[in-house]
Amino acid sequence: MPKTSNNLKQTADPVSPTSMIANGNTAIKWYGVALVVLILDQLSKQYFLKTLVEEGNSISVIEPILNWTLAYNRGAAFSLLANQGGWQKFFFAGLALLVSSFLIWYIRKVPRSAKLLSLALAMILGGAIGNLIDRMVYGHVIDFIHVHYANQWHYPVFNLADCGVVGGCMLMLFDMFVLEGKRNKHSEEVKPSKDTNSNANGAGQEK
């Protein structure tokens, strides 16, 4: 029987199939990122509660565009629905709890290679839990970052949790429109390589 090992030598896959393995237990490091966002958010809120004391008090930081201004938000991010009758407190608390639970589960399912997506979800998770704690403890969210222009134009006062949520959403969109296609192409290249090796192995066994 002629030797075929030299002609049908197996080659390593050009793309590692492990790149699409889910985070699983390694998701703990992304939960750590969420915890960092949460701690920074809560510490900053406690600091400005003690510094500014009463709602509406303000300290100029960079004239004429940035102040620290203590504000209580009873609505969603950036004061959405803040002027409703009070039902929104329970609605947004429940929504934040559902979103946080989903993110805790979903981060485990994200491919390990999708590090930017995992980071984005971790930032959103930390921000969501940060504002959820405020609603459960105080009945409102504590905001203090006040961007404006010469007191003529005012952006809704926000906090570090909002920064985590918005920043995470921006990273997630970048991953969706730029990186996800590359990952899918990456994984598709693995399949032909595997099929080629399987056919080669089969041919060798027949001989």
Which residues participate in catalysis according to the annotation? 143, 162
Provide the CB-side half-sphere exposure for 171 (13 A, CA). 17
| Token couple for 198 | 């399987």
| Token couple for 44 | 């900053």
Residue pair 205/18 in contact (Cβ under 8 Å)? The answer is no
Q: DSSP characters for 83-124?
A: TS-SHHHHHHHHHHHHHHHHHHHHHHHSBTT-HHHHHHHHHH
CA dihedral over 67, 68, 71, 75, signed as positive or negative: positive
Residue 73, beta-bridge partner list: 141
